[in-house]
């Protein structure tokens, strides 16, 4: 990493760990900032319509949301796997490298991170859904709402959907 290093010495007097501690701070140079922008530009983004067409043609959709988020609403497509973003690093070996992989979360931010991570680790045909599941659902593409059937017309019976 081509960064400028700043060293700051701090004296801690009112602590059990008395002494002088050295902290290293790194400020990125212009080169580092341009490198990060180039990496971000290489990750492909798809709008929900293009993503739906790619999935229909055999692409794998990976929902990287946390399991607590996926228990209420999920993508309703055949070729979808739920792998949380934090588990993706450990489960990359389960993913095929020869087919297109599309990642998504609710808003698209973690979907971008997942696509970037996969691309960095050797997956070449990777994209993410711009706007995530929210854009997918707002554009009218299939989602499955997992609501509790205990609601009645005269009021709520303690379900989670009201």
pLDDT in tens, 7-35: 444 444 444 554 444 444 444 444 444 44
pLDDT over 80 (residue 150): no
pLDDT in tens, 84-143: 999 999 999 999 999 999 999 999 999 999 999 999 888 989 999 999 999 999 999 999
SS3 62: strand
**134: CB partners within 8 A, 6+ apart:** 106, 107, 108
CATH number of 44-145: 3.40.250.10
Q: What share of the chain is helix, strand, coil (3-state, %, to 5)?
A: 30, 30, 40
Domain ranges of the chain: 3-33, 44-145
Predicted model pTM: 0.68
Q: Show the CA angle centred on residue 75, arms to residues 86 and 122, nearest 5°.
A: 45
């Amino acid at each position: 990493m081509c960064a400028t290093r700043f060293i700051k010495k701090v004296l801690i007097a009112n602590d059990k760990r008395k002494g002088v501690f050295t902290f290293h701070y790194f400020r990125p140079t212009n080169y580092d900032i341009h490198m990060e922008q180039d990496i971000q530009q290489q990750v492909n983004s798809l709008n929900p319509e293009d993503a739906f067409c790619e999935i229909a043609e055999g692409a794998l959709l990976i929902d990287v949301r946390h399991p607590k988020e996926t228990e209420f609403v999920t993508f309703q497509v055949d070729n979808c796997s739920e792998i949380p973003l934090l588990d993706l690093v450990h489960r990359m070996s389960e993913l095929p490298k020869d087919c297109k992989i599309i990642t998504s979360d609710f808003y698209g931010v973690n979907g971008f991170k997942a696509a970037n991570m996969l691309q960095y680790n050797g997956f070449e045909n990777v994209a993410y859904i711009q706007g995530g599941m929210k854009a997918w659902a707002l554009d009218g593409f299939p989602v499955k709402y997992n609501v509790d059937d205990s609601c009645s017309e005269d009021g709520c019976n303690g379900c989670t959907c009201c």
